[in-house]
A and B are shown apart, each in its own frame.
Chain A
């Protein structure tokens, strides 16, 4: 403002040429508004949808800042086996990723895998926990049991894991073939659990070698995570013919290093991950493989990538095919008769129910592998614990109907995935901790441990969450809350794969993932939904110049001048500003 120009005042001090010498700061335009912006960090959809309860957005944000070790530590606070889940998880996080609306979901699985693998080269320090006197037995060393053991050990408990097989890992070792999960990778992640002081006793059959009563009287709490290892029968004529095998038993043999003779033509019945594992393992044993599934491709419960890989490696798919009879010749299965199905009304799962059409057709087969689901059997298990068709009934923290007895994983009536098992193990660990410490928390306290309605955060339970959130609101950021135009396109990095002809020649790992550099690049694609990254967009776009930076990196909104137009909230790339009703 020039102030060196002489002004001759007129009557009442008004200059003859009107000249403004003050700024508009005297005008409190903030009084115009009826809604006001505020910075509230919200929940990224990946976090809300992760069955493990990993702060995915949190570790991707740390990677954005180049804090690789901190990202690794944050990941390991929730997930003991990132090298495993990075390879075999069905990644619902990616299905929920808001970046799908721009140029493809962030390849979270690949970043997790890279971080997990890095954690073996550069292990995270094991946090010291105040030792507790109570001891906990975990029955079963699958992902649920290992997760519960890991988190209990981190909470300071002495943990003993009992495993029937001669090596730990449960379904990770018995069910998942090596080409998806190399055993060295699995062993390293299990070693991490051991390194926390967990004692794993293999070759012990609980219910036979040790009774359940022994366990409940010796330990202060027991976590049951024995899995589901019994293949469901189809219940059709001819199922007992030689050559008709439970897919899981076949996988168990293959994963044990055996190479069973299958004949030339193998039919796999089912559409889940066990079916895909059977199909791809059979391909590797030289068979021609046909997958028969009673619904359609879209309705397959298997991970989409597994289906694609099976197809790439040469498996044929027959959809809407429901086996009705096995026919044998010379004392061995020779063909499978299927009924053609048609899609009817949606069933309880939301998928259209396959309805019989009466039309049948025959598929020739030397071996049939059935993989239509597994159920759990518990030998000598106390009869007073409530169970239903799907398994043991558990509450929100894995508690069964008997005191001190908790459960998690496939043995319960919850979703049967590796990630769900890891999440259930964590819930049971928190449940056991609350129980043993006589901690009577309420639902609100538990909900504060969740990302929106997602799984519990161990970091929050242990009050060791390193991520500071600004006045958080525990709701999920949707695609509508994201300002896509603030991002430039950056295509998703694709995992490297072995060529299909090489892949089906052996059991080498097929998906080679991303290089460490690619994975770090991929992490940069994260929108950081709901979390302010101090990108300055609000400050730049505010038409009222009412937003300023403050010391420490945050922003201040001059509410005396903010007119409540909402442009900051609308332009915020990631939904970290919320407009709220003005209180005045």
Chain B
């Protein structure tokens, strides 16, 4: 069958209930559904302030059928370290502690506690679902917002002027056992990475591109297609890093032009041709840098143009 048989690779389950409060078309609950159903019910979620604080549901309801600990913005990994210690004291070494947090709580506000937990190699799985701004509070820029993007704090006349932080390189530089990028738009790759992370011990970091229709100014049904475009045009390369040393591309990236991706999103609508060229040049430079990392760590680098959507 020429269709990708994703249903043979995706675990079913009902650890995410309907009725959650995500906006229509939000990819974060899809990521949560895939992650939870892969991890199973023996999981504790620690959730600093982020969109998902709302999505999970107001007290006394929860859309996650596992224990969830809501924490302050900056404290996710610190709280998770404590939860881990408490579980370990009870002998529950196999329970997965998952921090689930947005880009603001990872790239900006939570970075110190994440760095601390990674330094201690705390036995936690940290998942950053990255929608590239503080979406929940009204689309304010974060340090995950890409250069040139509109947000309410970087209006079209003065769009985002900094490059997005390379969070995966930051985390890999902590030499943690596992750091990877994924997107629910490629669910098989996503599930494989969660499965792999679950089986490991120590700090595991997953950077998840999670399209946000209101924040990206795209149609409710366009997010996943945009995420696939972001992978294929190398805006968001799909990689994994083991022990901070071994970099590997886990999917093919066709190397499509970035412009169609930008043009489909209202947050980039103001960009002129020169700015698009600048973005393309930046993507190309980062891709070269990534290939050097992959190559220098003994990984395989694609030589020929790859096929869109094919698994490496």
Stretch at the interface among B146-154, B201-209, B220-228, B261-269: B220-228
A292 to chain B, nearest CB (A): 42
Stretch at the interface among A254-262, A277-285, A562-570: A562-570
Q: Decide if B310 touches A488 in the complex (CB within 8 Å).
A: yes
When the two chains form the complex, which single residue of A23, A541, A571, A573 contacts B63, counting CB atoms closer than 8 Å?
A23
List of B residues within 8 angstroms of A565 by Cβ: 24-25, 213, 220-221
Q: Decide if A32 touches B24 in the complex (CB within 8 Å).
A: yes
Q: Decide if A486 touches B3 in the complex (CB within 8 Å).
A: yes
List of A residues within 8 angstroms of B28 by Cβ: 543
Q: Scan residues 530-545 of chain A and give those whose CB is less than 8 A from a CB of chain B.
A: 533, 535-537, 539-545
Q: Scan residues 268-312 of chain B and give those whose CB is less than 8 A from a CB of chain A.
A: 307-310
List of A residues within 8 angstroms of B2 by Cβ: 487-490, 524-525, 527
Chain B CB within 8 A of A584 CB: no
When the two chains form the complex, which single residue of B25, B61, B219 contacts A543, counting CB atoms closer than 8 Å?
B25
Contact bitstring B180-221, A, C-beta under 8 A = 1, else 0: 000010010000000000000000000000000100000111
Q: Taking CB as reference atom, which chain B residue is nearest A1?
A: B65
| Cα(A273)–Cα(B278), bound, Å | 54
Q: Taking CB as reference atom, which chain B residue is nearest A106?
A: B2
List of A residues within 8 angstroms of B68 by Cβ: 20
List of B residues within 8 angstroms of A29 by Cβ: 18-21
When the two chains form the complex, which single residue of A20, A28, A527, A567 contacts B59, counting CB atoms closer than 8 Å?
A20
- Given that A24-B19, A24-B57, A570-B221 are contacting pairs, would A545 and B33 also be in contact in the complex, using a CB cutoff of 8 Å? yes
B31 to chain A, nearest CB (A): 9
Contact bitstring A179-217, B, C-beta under 8 A = 1, else 0: 000000000000000000000000000000000000000
- Given that A20-B57, A28-B19, A33-B24 are contacting pairs, would A566 and B7 also be in contact in the complex, using a CB cutoff of 8 Å? no
Chain B CB within 8 A of A64 CB: yes
Chain B CB within 8 A of A357 CB: no
A539 to chain B, nearest CB (A): 8
List of B residues within 8 angstroms of A560 by Cβ: 18
Q: Taking CB as reference atom, which chain A residue is nearest B310?
A: A488
Q: Decide if A543 touches B33 in the complex (CB within 8 Å).
A: yes
Chain A CB within 8 A of B17 CB: yes
When the two chains form the complex, which single residue of B4, B61, B221 contacts A486, counting CB atoms closer than 8 Å?
B4
Chain A CB within 8 A of B27 CB: yes
| Cα(A483)–Cα(B2), bound, Å | 13
When the two chains form the complex, which single residue of A20, A26, A573 contacts B3, counting CB atoms closer than 8 Å?
A573
Contact bitstring A471-507, B, C-beta under 8 A = 1, else 0: 0000000000001111111100000000000000000
Q: Decide if B224 touches A24 in the complex (CB within 8 Å).
A: no
A526 to chain B, nearest CB (A): 8
Q: Scan residues 84-126 of chain B and give those whose CB is less than 8 A from a CB of chain A.
A: none
List of A residues within 8 angstroms of B173 by Cβ: none
Between B19, B21, B63, the greatest number of chain A beta carbons within 10 A of the residue's beta carbon is seen for: B19
- Given that A2-B67, A525-B2, A570-B225 are contacting pairs, would A26 and B19 also be in contact in the complex, using a CB cutoff of 8 Å? yes
Chain A CB within 8 A of B257 CB: no
Q: Taking CB as reference atom, which chain A residue is nearest B7?
A: A536
Q: How many A-B residue pairs have CB under 8 A?
A: 150
Contact bitstring B1-44, A, C-beta under 8 A = 1, else 0: 11111110010001011111111111111100100000000000
Q: Decide if B3 touches A543 in the complex (CB within 8 Å).
A: no
When the two chains form the complex, which single residue of B20, B61, B224 contacts A544, counting CB atoms closer than 8 Å?
B20
Contact residues on B (Cβ < 8 Å of other chain), bracket = 35 or more
| Cα(A289)–Cα(B6), bound, Å | 54
List of B residues within 8 angstroms of A28 by Cβ: 19
Q: Scan residues 52-85 of chain B and give those whose CB is less than 8 A from a CB of chain A.
A: 57, 59-63, 65, 67-68
When the two chains form the complex, which single residue of A25, A533, A543 contacts B27, counting CB atoms closer than 8 Å?
A543
Q: Decide if B62 touches A20 in the complex (CB within 8 Å).
A: yes
Q: Taking CB as reference atom, which chain B residue is nearest A540?
A: B10
- Given that A1-B62, A486-B4 are contacting pairs, would A569 and B30 also be in contact in the complex, using a CB cutoff of 8 Å? no
Q: Decide if A27 touches B61 in the complex (CB within 8 Å).
A: yes
Q: Scan residues 138-187 of chain B and give those whose CB is less than 8 A from a CB of chain A.
A: 184, 187
| Cα(A571)–Cα(B224), bound, Å | 8
Q: Decide if A563 touches B24 in the complex (CB within 8 Å).
A: yes
List of A residues within 8 angstroms of B225 by Cβ: 483, 485, 570
Q: Taking CB as reference atom, which chain B residue is nearest A562?
A: B18
Q: Decide if B61 touches A20 in the complex (CB within 8 Å).
A: yes
Q: Decide if A489 touches B10 in the complex (CB within 8 Å).
A: no
| Cα(A27)–Cα(B27), bound, Å | 19
- Given that A535-B3, A541-B224 are contacting pairs, would A18 and B59 also be in contact in the complex, using a CB cutoff of 8 Å? yes
B61 to chain A, nearest CB (A): 5
Q: Decide if A566 touches B25 in the complex (CB within 8 Å).
A: yes
Chain B CB within 8 A of A440 CB: no
| Cα(A545)–Cα(B220), bound, Å | 16
Chain B CB within 8 A of A128 CB: no
List of B residues within 8 angstroms of A25 by Cβ: 17-19
* 28 A-B contact pairs sorted by A residue (CB < 8 Å): A1-B67, A21-B60, A23-B19, A23-B65, A24-B17, A24-B57, A24-B62, A24-B63, A29-B19, A32-B24, A486-B6, A488-B309, A489-B307, A489-B310, A524-B1, A535-B7, A537-B7, A539-B7, A541-B224, A543-B29, A546-B18, A558-B18, A565-B24, A565-B221, A566-B25, A566-B220, A566-B221, A569-B221
CB-CB nearest 6 A-B residue pairs? A566-B221, A561-B18, A536-B7, A24-B19, A565-B24, A570-B221
- With A27-B21, A488-B3, A563-B24 given, name 9 new contacts (CB 8 A): A1-B62, A1-B67, A24-B21, A24-B61, A24-B63, A485-B225, A524-B2, A541-B224, A569-B221
